[in-house]
Structure 1
């Protein structure tokens, strides 16, 4: 159930409604926007009458939630979610935020040069894997804790934020001191135990769509994180598996405006994994922004031909710089901007 409070509702009114919802057996999630407070009741209460809430003091409207995802639906935050990071970067606002860097942290020299090139291009986040979930057990698996330390060190030197992938619950505490945002990869989109644990922390999360996941499945996975009280969540379209084999995946650009319609959560595009071919990344990045993406997650390596993972889909530094210039021209057309 959603209870939308009047803009002038007092804290006393709001707490009275919350108390009644709790009495009925709801878990209550509160969000306060610029115009009003929204109360979302989730769980499995007994019989209740929505009309009872419509007449309570300070209530503007009350209605049942018909969709299976309660907190991810746009009705929970009609104005959209904005996530503010420690250095002032805001995701979900007018700026299209770019996250870029290599697939993996390979060495100090490599990740430092990557950070310098990413910052020079105008991106706000450094991405790079310290723990790598690879299809083959014989492929490079990442540098682990040492990789996390290197990410934090070079990001601080270049005034970048850090995003990197978490693969299992045991890594969460280890990663917390070194990162600004957790990334949940496509393979873990339905690792519900991991998602539930990420809901209990107070650090932003970017969750990628699974390779065969429907839009509803994405939003239901998001619900696991949101239900724990962590509302700083971003979703990412990174391509899905279809019958087409020319590209690594089929990037579902239509998922971006669909998600923007259905959810209040910021939506990113990952054209690197979406197509898996370096020269196709820029046009898909531009298409993502044109479709309404709040940000982009892309792979760039100082020397992609020597990369230890995903070199074929990693941009050269000069390609990233050119793409950023094109994005700065495109963004104002759709009412956005890129710093």
Structure 2
């Protein structure tokens, strides 16, 4: 006599109960493995082990389910177990907050005695020694230790000002040394890394080069601090992975920079993602500064945004300052004059 529908359903319910019990038992064993790996510092996710388990399961399958369907079921089990434990299939990053790698703070990189947010200021580009010296003197008088200026200027148009190149580096080095400032400029080519390190204190990787992986590896080989800007349309995870390229070459002096991302908004040059700052602070060991000039592309709201990024936990601010912004060879609309710069400094101290 054939079974009744009710009896068959009861058997299925019993099997479901058994599956549930076994899944929870499996998860308990995974927790034990995780604790053991924590003790010896091993990676949580082992792709070779997962592949081996899948092969064993499939080899024992006698149907009626096809191997393709069994693979789907067990892939879901593997994935769910990892998700429950907060484990990712991705390799743990050196720059992640869960890593034991040691990265320097900005103050540690430069032997600064206080923990106040840093201000990195200066013109978009090195233009003349006189302009740069005017800014350097003003920064020194304000007890600001970092000056920025581009010697190489990657521009959207090949007809725009491209920078003074090595001559610009020489001007930046001369002025920064005479006024006791730490200098930062962008390096755009692997062939120029050694040259630029001879002149400046901090190597900047611009937004356009955030995923220039050969350049990231090259600056990673140096002992120079590297300021890595977020790419024009990059996610936070992609920024972290770009930093990982630098870290993997042995450089532990990495500063991230939130400079806005491209969105549909037209009121600002880019959209400043303030949320990235606490996320980076939570998920990595790395310091992060905010570029409030390239992100906004305007200076009438700089004061409020400067205070906002510091409130979000930024380690500093990068801002463009020029003696006569209207005569600047690039990005004139977003550069502050010296009086506007002073107003910003006063505003963020209130």
When normalised by structure 2's length, the TM-score is: 0.74
Q: Give me the whole-angstrom Cα distance separating, in 1, the residues matched to 2:38 and 2:137.
A: 55
Q: In the alignment, which residue of structure 1 is the partner of 2:307?
A: 286
**CA shift for structure 1 position 284:** 1.2
Q: In the alignment, which residue of structure 1 is the partner of 2:12?
A: none
Correspondence 1:230 to 2:251: yes
Q: In the alignment, which residue of structure 2 is the partner of 1:73?
A: 96
Task: Deviation per CA, 1:55-105: give whole Å up to 9, x if none.
Answer: 6xxx6x666373545111012259974245676237xx7220110000000
User: Residues 64-143 of structure 1 correspond to what in structure 2 (within 5 A)?
Assistant: 64=44, 66=88, 67-68=90-91, 70-77=93-100, 81-84=104-107, 88-89=111-112, 94-143=115-164
Task: Deviation per CA, 1:232-257: give whole Å up to 9, x if none.
Answer: 00100000000111111111111111
- Structure showing greater relative contact order (alpha-carbon pairs closer than 8 Å, 6 or more residues apart): 1
Task: Deviation per CA, 1:141-186: give whole Å up to 9, x if none.
Answer: 1111111111111111211100000001011111112111001000
Q: Give me the whole-angstrom Cα distance separating, in 2, the residues matched to 1:145 and 1:101.
A: 18
Equivalent pairs, count: 275
Task: Deviation per CA, 1:242-278: give whole Å up to 9, x if none.
Answer: 0111111111111111111111100100110111001
Gaps of 5+ in 1: 1-48, 330-339
Matched-pair contact (CA < 8 Å) for 2:221–2:249? yes
Q: Which has the larger radius of gyration?
A: 2
User: Residues 185-200 of structure 1 correspond to what in structure 2 (within 5 A)?
Assistant: 185-200=206-221
**CA shift for structure 1 position 131:** 0.5
User: Residues 17-96 of structure 1 correspond to what in structure 2 (within 5 A)?
Assistant: 64=44, 66=88, 67-68=90-91, 70-77=93-100, 81-84=104-107, 88-89=111-112, 94-96=115-117
Matched-pair contact (CA < 8 Å) for 1:240–1:249? yes
Matched-pair contact (CA < 8 Å) for 1:96–1:293? yes
| Structure with higher helix content | 2
Q: Give me the whole-angstrom Cα distance separating, in 1, the residues matched to 2:244 and 2:309.
A: 24
Gap change, CA 1:63 and 1:119, over 3 Å in 2: same
Correspondence 1:182 to 2:203: yes
Task: Deviation per CA, 1:18-73: give whole Å up to 9, x if none.
Answer: xxxxxxxxxxxxxxxxxxxxxxxxxxxxxxx8776666xxx6x6663735451110
Q: Give me the whole-angstrom Cα distance separating, in 2, the residues matched to 1:224 and 1:69.
A: 13
| Structure with higher strand content | 1
Matched-pair contact (CA < 8 Å) for 1:69–1:223? no
Q: Give me the whole-angstrom Cα distance separating, in 2, the residues matched to 1:99 and 1:261.
A: 23
Gaps of 5+ in 2: 1-32, 46-87
Q: Secondary structure at the match of 2:270?
A: coil
Q: In the alignment, which residue of structure 1 is the partner of 2:347?
A: 326
Correspondence 1:309 to 2:330: yes
Matched-pair contact (CA < 8 Å) for 1:77–1:264? no
Correspondence 1:253 to 2:233: no
When normalised by structure 1's length, the TM-score is: 0.76
Q: In the alignment, which residue of structure 1 is the partner of 2:82?
A: none
